[in-house]
Structure formats: structure tokens, C-alpha cells
Structure 1
Amino acid sequence: MTAEPGTPEGPGGLDPLDRLHPGLVHHIVNTLGWPGLRPLQEEAVAPLMDGSDALLLAPTAGGKTEAASFPLLSRMDAERWTGTSVLYVCPLKALLNNLLPRLETYTSWLGRSAALWHGDVPQSRRKRVLRERPDVLLTTPESLEAMLVSANVDHRAFFSGLRAIVVDEVHAFAGDDRGWHLLAVLERLERVVGRPVQRVGLSATVGNPAELLSWLQGAGAGKRGARVVAPHLREAAPELPPPGDIQLDYVGSLANAATVIAALHRGEKRLVFCESRRQVEKLGEALRAKGVTTFLSHASLSVDERSRAEEAFAEARDCVIVSTSTLELGIDVGDLDRVIQIDAPATVASFLQRLGRTGRRSGSPRNCLFLALDEPGLLSAAALLLLWSRGWVEPVVAPPEPRHIVAQQVLALCLQEHRVGDRLWQDWWGGLGPFGPAAEPIVRHLIGEGYVDRDGGMMFIGPEAERRFGFRHFMDLTAVFTAAPEFTVLSGRTEIGTTDPALLTEEVAGPRRLLLAGRSWQVTYIDWSRRRCFVEPVEGGGRARWGGAGFARIASYELTRAAREVLLGATPPVVLTRRAEGALARARDEGAELVHAHGTVIVRGGQGTSVRWWTWAGHRANATLAATLGPAADPLQRPADAYVRLREDITPREWRNAVAEGAQRLSLPSVNPRAVAGLKFGATLPPRLAEATMAARLADLDGAAAALGEPFQYRVRGM
């Protein structure tokens, strides 16, 4: 496996176009009007036509869909594939909807077909898919699993012709539990069809492409041909936009951000990214109050509401769309003039995705304006831009110890096959790490707790699984990520979106008002049993709120270390406004006592009541350090990105002993029981394994070890 693709030519020095189907080449030249293929598309032809697994890397709008689909469609015709032979898997239903017209066009050029299958597709269209079996099926991993377990789908017949799977935005899967779920479902699919299935991943730039491809191969890693295709990685230096196209400003509040956005770039189409749904709502409301044509997009808006906003935005010119990460991936909202970022995204990879939304028109530059709302936001943005300017991107790493996904998969397999041999169940995942011998204690627990019954050497769904997951044909068993229980908000018969139930239960003076879709609504009736809330529009006064399941947004070791560099004087090579320069100078003055160029700092508060160890190691490393230090750490602390709180009366001798012992034996962070409760399918695990799973995911052993190994200075604040 290599990230250096070398020559794009095929066997005998063939031009890549000569290996594609002549009908495709005709339409590429005459229908699309392309003078030729892009480098990624040229270099993808040979490995995909030869049947290798591959990872295709390119910046946003780099032609990845065509790079995958043109060779596979050519193979489909040359090798006479029949039935549904290609699956195109995406993380978002909206992205699938967006891609369908393109893939319908490309397949039609060869007399083939493409169709869509996900939770929003009407039953009538699903029946047609089952009846007519399109050559290319666009779907999600959850919908694939639903097809495998459904009594209405003959999955062996339907998938009998499967030859290749394309996983779009593969990095978005690999970094969380949906990735483990995807891999497990793909292994089960291969066993159903009885042959290896070619796997092709599409991704923006990542820090570890070879490892990501090996991950995508699953149990086939090292057994099948594999190729990273990434022509842009051969460039000597990262492609940075010209000076002036990336700017960092300090505005101090969301209201001020609205003022700046309303005043700048009038007549242009602007996409504004926020880091929370509440921010999206408040900023959208403020922009509309200033007369700016504004649209909103986030996960708690209804599908229709988001679609209307995205379509209207795509057709408009002088307007703004305010979004969470829902528009970070490749959903087409037309040509953009500007991207604006409130504070900073969580990763450099996210910034690259967002930056790539601009500059798609010939002659238009890629650009981004950062608007920091406070000092932490300014520091985060400066740190991220510093890493980006060096060409650094986070490696994509799968979450460790996915034991709860193993439990879910065993139950799903029992649903799929009805009866599974109690000694043969591991074969379904072909030796894929967590689903092999390490899963045996989980299966024993499932049997012991009644989730799985066993009789005559066969396993099948037990009464406890029926009780917990049997509602609506086990639909909840196929959804791997947990959504907080929210109330649906309706105006008449029109669904606006969902809201946190706390907004409907807390005491208020006067009428109860919500902020949703950038507008205020007055609650007229609440249907508690059906979790519905009926509203009518009003002028102002609405409030937005959503709870959050899962992890809070936390900074990594690398980003936190970059923030320390910024405080020590490093400045990213972008344009800083005078406001940003002034705020950054103040932050450096105020933080001078908290940073040390060659190690860490222990700071005692001026009154002697607070002792903090400024590690600048990131949240997970600090959580690991707090557990490792034992009695030396403050037992009541909540680990932060930059520091660990120490016991107020700790002595130098106790500190030295704690560091020496910790360097020999790192401890996993302690786990809050509420965190275990938020782990979907966690109830199917023995409590100790559920806690061990969460602890492993809260830890950063490498970052903690690095902090323990550094010299430290002791300082008293204010002296």
C-alpha cells in the first residue's frame, strides 16, 4: 500500500481514458464538456478497474464521486455485472439525495440505473427498488442493516450481484462508532454474497491515509490489493490561499458578529458555520432583524425546512445561510462567495472541509473569515490556523473498545439469520478485531441476561431483546447513535423541527415562546403523550435550547499545545484585524504566567487557595493525569483542556512522588455513571465492561505520558 500513486497509466501504458467505457468517454467530453480527467480521476482508473481496494483523497469539490463511479461503471459493463452490483454509502441522507441525480445521469449513459434507499424514502419507492434492483444503490449503513434484518427483503437474492462498495466521506465514519458499525455490516454483507467485495473510500485530506484505507478493508486488510490515490499529497507544501483570503477578527459577542456579517460582503452569497444549534438560531434571528436574507440549517430542523432553506439559498445571491456542521460535507448549495466561521471548528480537518466550500468558480479564491466571540474562541482559532499553516491534519482514529457495537451486532445477526450457531457466530465478521474472540464475554453476558436465547447449539433473539428493542420491528436496534428525546414542533400541519423538552417544562413568566428556524413561535398546545408541541408565529422573544448526548466538544493534545505556542508568541500566517491583534496581545499578557516554553507550569493562586498544573495537554490527557495522580489531584475537579487542579495543601515531596509513580503506571479516567447511561446499547454489556469502554474513550495515554515527562516550573500567581 502506498500514498505515492506514481504513473496513472494502466497496463501497457494505456491512457486512463482508453480504459473507460467508450460511451462514458463520449459523454465526459461532449455532455460534461470536460477537456479531460482531473489527476485524481486519471490515477483512480487503474486500481479500480483492476479490482483493488482504494482510498481516493482530494479537497472538497475535487471530483471524487466521478473518480470512483466512472471506473466502476466501466467494469460493470465489461464484466457484465447484473443486479445491484454497486453500493454507494454516505453518512447523511441529505448527501445521498444530493448525489442521486448525478449518479442517475452517469448510469443512464450505459443503460444502467441508480436508486435511493434510506429512512425518508416512501414505501412505494422501496418496493420498486426491491422489484427492479437498480445497478447502483445509494444508502446509509443503518439502512443496509435494516435491509439485512427485514422480513420484507430477501437479502441473499437482493445482494447476490454485489461487487463493489463506495464509502463517501469515509473519514466521517471512521472517527466514531458508526464506523465500527459500517465495518461490521460490510463483513456480514460479504458473507451473504459469498465473495470479497471491492471497497473504495472517498475522503478529504486526512493525516493518516494508509491507516484509514487499512481500516476500511476490515478483515481483508493485508489480504487484498490496496491503493491510496492522492495526487495532491505529492505537492511539496500545503496549498495555502493567498495572504488576505484567511482572516481572523475578534468581535466579542454574537450580536457583534451579526453586525459585522450584515455590513461586510453585501451582494455576495455567504455560508456561516457555528458550533451549536443554539448559536445558529440566535445568529439567524439577529441577521434577519438587520434585514439580511437569511436561511438556517441544523439537525433539529425538519427535513423539509432544511431542504427549503438549502434550495432557496442555492438559487439566491445576496444572502446568508447559517449552519452547524450539517453543511460541512459535500451537499451542494451552489457557488459560494464567502465562508465565515464563528470561533473555531473542533479540528483542522473540519476547517479544510469548510474552506473547500468556496473557490469552486473559476478565478474565485478559497477564503474564510474567523469571527472570535471571546478570548478562548480567539485562541482556539489562532491555534487551529497555526497547525493548518504547517500542513498538519488530524489522523482519523477509530474509537477504542467498541464493545457495545459488538453486542448490537450479535443481536442484529440473530435477527438476520433467525438462528446462529453458538460456535460459528464469529465467522460472520471474518476475524475483524473486536468481533473475534474478544467478544466472547459479551456474548456470554447477552445469553445470561436473556438478550439471546440458546438451545441445541443455536442462538436466537431472547425475551430481554424483544422487550428493549422489539418496538416497530426492532428499528431502534439498527440506529447506532443516540438522539436525545426531543419534542416535534408544528405550526398547523407543517413540521418546523424539534426542541429540548426542558423549554416546555421550565417555569416562565407570560407566554411560552420558542426560537426555531430563526423565527419566534408561541406555544399554543403541548401533546405530552405524542411528544408534540403546536405553535404560532410571533414577533420576537423566543428561546432556543438543546441538550446533548455523548461527548462535549473538547480540544485535542495537538490543538491545546498549539494554543500554548500562540500564547508564547507564535502567530499564524493569516491576516489579523487590529481588534484581533489587540485581543491576542491581552491574552498573551494575561496568560504569561501560565505557559513555559520548555515544560509545564504549576501555579498557586494569589490567595493560596487554588493550585493548577498547566499542562496544555488537552482534555483527555488531563483526565488521564487526574486519575493517575490519585491523592495529589483535587478530587472534585472537572478536567479542562489546559490544566489539572491539584490538592490545595499538596507538598513538593508529595508532588514529586506522584509524578514518579504516575510515570510508571498511567490510570484510565474515572467514569461518571451518567456517561455509561449515554452509551447506546451500553445496557447490553456487563457494567464493568461498559465502564471500561467509556474510560478507554476518555483517555489519552500518550499525551499524559508526554506531560509527565516534561520539566515543570512552580509559580505563585501575582508575584
Structure 2
Amino acid sequence: MSGDPLELLDPILVHHVVNSLGWRSLRPLQQEAIEPVLAGQDAVLLAPTAGGKTEAAVFPLLTRAQRQGWKGTGILYVTPLKALLNNLHPRLETYTGWVGRTAELWHGDVASTRRRRILAHRPDVLLTTPESLEAMLVSTHVDHRAFFSGLHSVVVDEVHAFAGDDRGWHLLAVLERLQRVIERPVQRIGLSATVGNPRELLDWLQGSGRGRRPGRVVAPGVSLPDTGAGGAPSSPPPGDVELDYVGSVANAATVIAALHKGEKRLVFCESRRTVEELGEQLRLRGVTTFLSHASLSADERRRAEEAFAEARDCVIVSTSTLELGIDVGDLDRVIQLDAPATVASFLQRLGRTGRRPGTRRNCLFLALDDSGFLSAAALLLAWSRGWVEPVVPPPDPRHLVAQQVLALCLQEHRVGENLWQEWWGGLNPFGTAAEPVVRHLVEEGWLDRDGGVLFVGPEAERRYGHRHFMNLTASFTAPPEFTVLSGRTEIGRTDPDLLTEEVEGPRKLLLAGRSWLVTYIDWKRRRCFVEPVDDGGRARWSGFGAVRIQSYALSRAARDVLLGADPPVRLTRRAEARLAAAREAHLDAVHPAGTVVVRGGDGDVRWWTWAGHRANATLAASLPSVTLPHRRVEDRFIRLRDDLTAQSWRAAVTDARSGLTLPEVDVRAVRGLKFAEALPPRLAGATLAARLADEDGARAVLAEQVRFVLRHDG
């Protein structure tokens, strides 16, 4: 191997890296990735935000394309967000242009004329999403066998964002079908920020090729754990982090308006409603403010991102939409209201700062209430210990098995009833365990069977046939929303409840950080028309509240904070006072040796498990004789019956230890599982129940000692 890794790359690329980019050398990740990527190995490339992951994958892949004479579309570059694709496209156009190759975008916003050009002149690199990729496979306008015949490699950007939800299973299934179409394995390269289990993430990404294709985790300078329990380096990543308690959105706006004047600030909120409320409050205080969240129109988000990239003294308020690698220019500060759901999300957000020489990564936490404050303190404590969540794919994706079998029949028109499993190469969810799902699809008319072959049936035509089966290619669902228009300009989308609930006086919405008067509602087309108004608008979206601590690990970190462990960050005087008050308020609720059952003065009995939402849901279902039925599951405690006795407690725990019960599933929640209607009700419920459970966390709690506090005056 050459002493200088640059010499392994195509010489024309090297020339431009040195002269066009002005790089004297490659970053460590880029150096170490060259050998395995050039060798055709699968890989996960791990580095913090702005760590040069795109170049680490693309430079050696373009070198392979040049040396091996790849023709047609040889590289797919897949991301979870269209906005990220749009942001990456100019960069990849530049890199491919250096070596006489091309890069093109293909997603739902790309015009049909441009798509026709792409089909006629296949680009060397195609940037797309998994949904658009599957749409190409099932489209009658795309000869997918010809188009993908030159495919050799797939780059999956932000692979951890895929692997943790159903879009990951969808991506893997589509890649397996692609491999069968072109009749050869495809190199898979995942780009990821810090995760707790990178080796397991690589195994997942390899799909059916796990163990058959060589793979490597490339993570220079990152401590890799030996198990999937989360990383444990000796010290947290460097950063300037501060925790404050402000008590309300209005107070948060006052603090943000007063601090860091002249700087560019990015504020993350945990709900779209909070984004809207903070945006309005900041504008009332004269702060130049832009907003970004999923219910704003694409034009509105794009305008905000472009203006923010060019402005200086301003604030952009966002949900997680700007957490991933979209470039928002030269950022000075990150501010977080309450806490993100995971340490991994915090690392992504922290990594948006400190990119200029002489600057440090920084984040200011502003807690809006007591629960948000404890969540933030717990997350910062876990971060300080070097802990990061393992990425765990959702179990039992039976609904996606149904979707994939239907999509395959749409793609191939007819599939042998004994051959459909071969399309996924033994990928676990699509093997023999999928047979009951396929039987149900046939019995209920989703699939027809004739002469030993399967094809799309009348029920699938009825449910998904509209607009060329477009709804069949999306692996996630969203609640229905009304499009909000001011004249002909789309502002975004709002929850229909805001348009139907009784109100006194004019009906006003809060959207894009401004108040709007509703002037007309088109119920048939799900549209409402508005005009600007000074104030009084309201924002709400069903099912999308602020996310509090849910995992076992972060809930236990909250308990550690209450037991005296301080997150090693700067605390304001307000935060110090709030921390002291929280510890005083929870004196009877925490114990270092186990859990606590507290009977309050009002007879309310709570079992303080500090085990997280899923473990508590599992425990509540597994101890039905002592828990209160039909109560909302909390992250930190479980409500028990007020007639609890020592004898009934011991009997319930003994029964639970002999076998746990999965949480009861609300039928409304099952309806929110995309494609659940194509499953037998029993399997749909079992799928969701498995995802609501944390059996390991529940068992850990049951193995601990329990302390009983008979009276609590707090």
C-alpha cells in the first residue's frame, strides 16, 4: 500500500482535490475508507457531522468507475430526505464532472421532462430516496432491467436514520430486489454519525449478504463497543454545552433574542407546534426568524434555508428536519428547547457548529418545564459518559412484507407462488415467517393466484390503484392534513381539527410563524384559504407531541441525576435551583439499590421504575392484578391499585417473572401502521405490540429490589 492514500485515487481526482478544493491531505476517515471501498467491500463509514463522509465514499467509488470502465448508472446515492439530496447534488455534480461523469436527482419533485432525459441518458450517479427507487421498479415507464444494468454500488447516507425505523426494512427489501434484477451483488456503503453499535449496523446493511460479503467498519478515532449496548469511550466529545431553565416558550424567545446578537443561531424544537410558537414570539421581539418543519410547504422551507444560509444576525427554528446533513451555511450557535429523544440526535445537532477554524461545538439547552429539564439533564449525563444508543431495527415488519409482496407482483406482473421468497435472498423477515402474510393476501383478494403464479388482486387495485399505485411505494404514513393557501401560494399544511373545533370569533391559524385568518374551507379538496392577520393564530398537529424520555437507559440516567450525579456542563443559576428542587421533590421516588413503590397522602400509588415507556408498558401488561387498567403509560412510573397489599404484590411479580406479556394495543394505533389493513388483525396487533415492548428492561426491573414508602406528603 502506498504511503500516501491520495495516490490510490484516480489522478484526475487527486489533481482537483489538491487544486480545486485546496486540500493538502485527506481526513483520517477519507484515508482509511479508500482501501475497502476500492476493494468492493461493504462498509459503514463513521464520523461526526461534517466529517467528510460523502467524499470518503464517492472519491474511491469514482476511482473504481474509472478503472473498471463502468457504463450507465453504476452508483446509487440514497438519503432519507429529498432536501438532503437537493443539497448534495451540486457537490456530486462537481466531483463527477472532474472525471467526465454525471450525477442526477430522481425524486418526487423532479419534473417529468427531466426524468425522461435521465432515462434516455443514464447518469453515472443517481441521487434518490428508497421510495423513488421502488417507484422506478414498479413504473411502466421505466425499463428497470436496462436502467440498472450497470449498477455496482449503493451509498446509503444517514444510514442510522434508516435502520431505526420501517424505512430501513423497506430500503433493504428494495435493494434485495434490485440485486435480483441485475443478477449480481451490489456493494453497500453506509454513512453514519456516531452510533452505539456500528458493527451490528453493518450486519444489518449487508442484508442477505451478511457473512457472504466482506465488510468493514471504518471509524478512525471513534471508540467502538464490543456489544450492542452503546458506546463507552472514557470522555464525551468536546463541546461548549450549557443548561438553563426558562419555563415557557415566551421566556425562551426572550433569552434567544437577548443572547448571541449578530450571530447565526439554529434552534431545535421537539414539535412543530413549538416551532411555530417560538417563531412567532421571536418575530414579535424583532428577531429575523425563519422556520423549517415537515408541514411547511417545500417552497417555504427552501426560502428559509436559502435566506438563513446567506444571512448573519438571524435565527432558524426547526424540528429534526435540519438535524441531518443539509448545509445551512456558516452556523454560530445551536440552541435546544427541552431535549431531543436520543443522544445520537444531540450529537448530530451539536455537530452543526464548530466547523470554522478556532470555533468550538456548542449547544445551549433551554428547558420549558420540569419534565423537559430532567430529560435534558439525563441526556447530558448519558452523553458525558460517552453513551450512544444502539440502532435497533423495529421487530416483525409484517406490514412491510405485505407491501413488498404486492410491490413485487406490480413490478414483475406475475410471480411464482413458490418463488417469491427468492427475491429477498433469505432476508429474515421475508423468509418462511412471511408465509402466513402471503396466504392472507391471497385469501382476502389482495393477490390473485392462477396456474401457480401470483398477481395483483382486486382488493389491492381498490386500495392502492389510484395514481399508478403511488401509495404502495411509501413505507410510512402521515395523518391527514389540509393544505393552507394564501391566494395561490401554498404556505403549508394544518391539522383538520383546527378547522372543525368550535371557536369564539374568527378562526385563526399559526403557520410559518405568522397568524392567518381562515376565509374559506374547501372540504372536498382538503384545502383552506387564508389571509394575513396580526396575531391570535393557533398551531396543532395530532399525534405529534413533544417527545420525553422513553428509553430505559435515559430514564435510568434521569434517576442518576436525581440521586446526585451532575451532568458536567455549565448550569445557569436558574438551572441549579431547578435541579435542587427536582431532587427535593423526588426524594421518595428514587433509590440507588432498586425501584420504589410510593403510596401518597391522597391514596395514589406509584411504582417508580425509571425504566422508560416501553419497559413500563410491558410491566403494566405483565402485572394486571396490581396495575390500574387503561391508564396512560408514563416513562418513569406505573400507577398501581390503591388496595395493593404485600401478598398481592409478591404474587403478581412472581407471575410476571415466569413470563412477560406484551403491551395491549389500541386499535387506533394499529390503523396508524402503514399497510396494516393488508394483515390479519391478529398479526397486525402482534406487530405493533412487539414494537411497544421492552422485555429486557422489564426483566431488569423485576430482578431489582423494591422499596415501599407507605406515606408521601409531596
SS of aligned partner of 1:133: coil
Which residue of the other structure, out of 237, 241, 255, is the alignment partner of 2:238? 241
Distance, in Å, in 1 between the alignment partners of 2:305 and 2:631 is 43
Q: Does 1:659 align with 2:648?
A: no
Match of 2:156 in 1: 167
Match of 1:59 in 2: 48
Conserved 8 A contact 2:371-2:548? no
Which residue of the other structure, out of 691, 694, 714, is the alignment partner of 1:697? 691
Q: Does 1:596 align with 2:585?
A: no
Which residue of the other structure, out of 572, 579, 586, is the alignment partner of 1:584? 579
Q: How does 1:614-629 map to 2 (within 5 A)?
A: 614-629=608-623
Deviation per CA, 1:318-372, whole angstroms, max 9, x where unpaired? 0000000000000000011100000000000000000000001111110000000
Shift of 1:548: 2.2
Which residue of the other structure, out of 657, 670, 685, is the alignment partner of 2:679? 685
Shift of 1:237: 3.8
Shift of 1:658: 0.9
Which residue of the other structure, out of 26, 43, 50, is the alignment partner of 2:32? 43
Equivalent residues, number: 705
Q: How does 1:182-581 map to 2 (within 5 A)?
A: 182-234=171-223, 237-238=234-235, 240-241=237-238, 245-548=240-543, 555-581=550-576
SS of aligned partner of 1:256: helix
Shift of 1:630: 1.8
Question: Please, which runs of 5 or more residues in structure 1 have no aligned partner?
Answer: 1-9
Q: Which amino acid aligns with 1:241?
A: P
Conserved 8 A contact 1:452-1:462? yes
Distance, in Å, in 1 between the alignment partners of 2:235 and 2:36 is 26
SS of aligned partner of 1:172: helix
Distance, in Å, in 2 between the alignment partners of 1:228 and 1:617 is 31
Conserved 8 A contact 2:549-2:555? no
Q: Which amino acid aligns with 1:490?
A: L
Distance, in Å, in 2 between the alignment partners of 1:570 and 1:362 is 34
Question: Please, which runs of 5 or more residues in structure 2 have no aligned partner?
Answer: 225-232
Match of 1:78 in 2: 67
Deviation per CA, 1:117-138, whole angstroms, max 9, x where unpaired? 0000011111111010000000
Distance, in Å, in 1 between the alignment partners of 2:547 and 2:499 is 24
Distance, in Å, in 2 between the alignment partners of 1:220 and 1:692 is 28
Conserved 8 A contact 1:484-1:549? no
Conserved 8 A contact 1:617-1:707? yes
Match of 1:710 in 2: 704
Shift of 1:238: 4.0
Deviation per CA, 1:447-466, whole angstroms, max 9, x where unpaired? 00000000000000000000
Match of 2:139 in 1: 150
Which stretches of structure 1, 4 residues or longer, exceed 4 Å deviation after superposition?
549-554
Q: Does 1:134 align with 2:123?
A: yes
Check 1:75–1:550 CA distance in 2 against 1; reply closer, same or farther (3 A cut).
Answer: farther
Q: Which amino acid aligns with 1:204?
A: A
Distance, in Å, in 2 between the alignment partners of 1:258 and 1:550 is 20
Q: Does 1:96 align with 2:85?
A: yes
Conserved 8 A contact 1:550-1:678? no
Conserved 8 A contact 1:550-1:675? no
Shift of 1:15: 2.8
Q: Which amino acid aligns with 2:706?
A: F
Distance, in Å, in 2 between the alignment partners of 1:81 and 1:575 is 54
Conserved 8 A contact 2:154-2:187? yes
Conserved 8 A contact 1:550-1:679? no
Conserved 8 A contact 1:249-1:577? yes
Shift of 1:512: 1.1
SS of aligned partner of 2:403: helix
Conserved 8 A contact 1:178-1:481? yes
Q: Does 1:25 align with 2:19?
A: no
Match of 1:4 in 2: none
Deviation per CA, 1:472-524, whole angstroms, max 9, x where unpaired? 00000001110111000111111100000111111111211111000111111
Shift of 1:631: 1.3
Deviation per CA, 1:372-411, whole angstroms, max 9, x where unpaired? 0111111000000000001100000000000000000000
Conserved 8 A contact 1:258-1:283? yes
SS of aligned partner of 1:483: coil
Moved more, 701-710 or 550-559: 550-559
Distance, in Å, in 2 between the alignment partners of 1:167 and 1:33 is 27
Check 1:650–1:239 CA distance in 2 against 1; reply closer, same or farther (3 A cut).
Answer: closer
Match of 1:5 in 2: none
Match of 1:7 in 2: none
Q: Which amino acid aligns with 2:584?
A: D
Distance, in Å, in 2 between the alignment partners of 1:644 and 1:43 is 49
Shift of 1:100: 0.1
Which residue of the other structure, out of 125, 129, 145, is the alignment partner of 2:114? 125
Conserved 8 A contact 1:615-1:644? yes
Moved more, 554-563 or 44-53: 554-563
Q: Which amino acid aligns with 1:476?
A: N
Distance, in Å, in 2 between the alignment partners of 1:206 and 1:670 is 31
SS of aligned partner of 2:390: coil
Shift of 1:550: 11
Moved more, 178-187 or 633-642: 633-642
Match of 1:15 in 2: 4
SS of aligned partner of 1:397: coil
Check 1:370–1:31 CA distance in 2 against 1; reply closer, same or farther (3 A cut).
Answer: same
Moved more, 548-557 or 584-593: 548-557
Distance, in Å, in 2 between the alignment partners of 1:116 and 1:483 is 24
SS of aligned partner of 1:541: coil
Shift of 1:14: 4.9
Shift of 1:549: 7.0
The TM-score, its normalising length taken from structure 1, stands at 0.97
Q: Which amino acid aligns with 1:412?
A: A
Moved more, 337-346 or 653-662: 653-662
Shift of 1:26: 0.1
Distance, in Å, in 1 between the alignment partners of 2:529 and 2:631 is 42
Conserved 8 A contact 2:606-2:639? yes
Q: Which amino acid aligns with 2:471?
A: D
Identity of matched residues, %: 73
Conserved 8 A contact 2:296-2:493? yes
Q: Which amino acid aligns with 2:438?
A: V
Conserved 8 A contact 1:169-1:204? yes
SS of aligned partner of 2:411: helix
